Amino acid sequence: MPHSLRLPDLAAIRAAQARIAPHVHRTPVLTSSSIDGEVGARLYFKCENLQKVGAFKARGAVNAVFSLPADVAGRGVVTHSSGNHGAALAYAARRRGIPAWVVMPENAPKVKIANVAREGATIRFCVATVAAREAACAEVQGESGATLIHPFDNAEVIAGQGTAALELLADVPDLDAVIAPCGGGGLLAGTAIAAHGLSARLRVLGAEPAQADDAARSLASGRVEPLPTTTTIADGLRTTLSPRTLAALRAHVEAIGTCSEDAIVRAMRLIFERMKLVVEPSSAVPLACLLEGTLPLRGARVGVLLSGGNVDLDRLPWQT
């Protein structure tokens, strides 16, 4: 397999689980009988909103940083991120005692800038384009020799993300299906590889907003379909797949459901009200797909990855 498509296997995900264990939480799996009644299925929520830095991204970042040889790690790490991955990489670098640079768009939310700064990274701001982000990362690499840790197009990051599914399936081994939200595809790829490594019969499904349905289109066409400018509330899912993550999805993911913006808000509010959990809109997308019936799982036992809880509490979507 070309290096650009290299993916972890179950053994790599198990190794990642051992590597990151001292640095991340084993998050709980919670249930809600009233939400089960809304969708007609038995749901088991893996609460990565309670993870370090408030999102599953801590898993992949820690695995990637602690996989680096000492001489390479000593030169530091760099990434571009407007949110959770930047904070996760900064956290991982602090735990290893190495420098981190995070390139952020100048219009990044203040709460997310504060999260990255709190973890001790050096922030470089750029205009809000992919080209500007990549150029700024290349500049940091040229100055420092830092290693680029991509938010999802990285085999060690994908392996780290897959550890959440290992934990979920250890706690609830008799699931019929697992659902993860899909942006760049790192979480869904890692989840799918872990799930099928443990049980070939397990259904693995993705979920994304109808207004950012590039993964569903990519799965259908067999090639990466670019995501046009989008206005979805699920800001963590406004990302196009990479060839690497698409390869994992094509091998292991049965289908990707999509949902309306109204359903995302309804699902997010249900989780707040019924489960007393703070989740960001991206986390609510799998439940939104179940509420709208775009993932047909009535009567099934379903694991749901709640990807993160970093939401601006002053701008909740149901506030007027």
Q: List active site positions.
A: 57, 82
CA–CA separation, 87 and 55 (whole Å): 9
CA–CA separation, 317 and 262 (whole Å): 10
Using an 8 Å Cβ cutoff, are 188 and 208 in contact?
Answer: no
DSSP β-bridge partners for residue 303 = 44, 178
State the CB neighbour count (10 A cutoff) for residue 130.
Answer: 10
Six-digit token string for 174: 């008799």
Residue 239: which of 307, 112, 151, 176 has the closest Cα?
A: 151
Tell me the C-alpha to C-alpha distance, in Å, between residue 167 and each of 99, 170, 286, 297.
Answer: 30, 5, 19, 22
Residue 206: which of 308, 300, 286, 287 has the closest Cα?
A: 286
Six-digit token string for 320: 């007027």
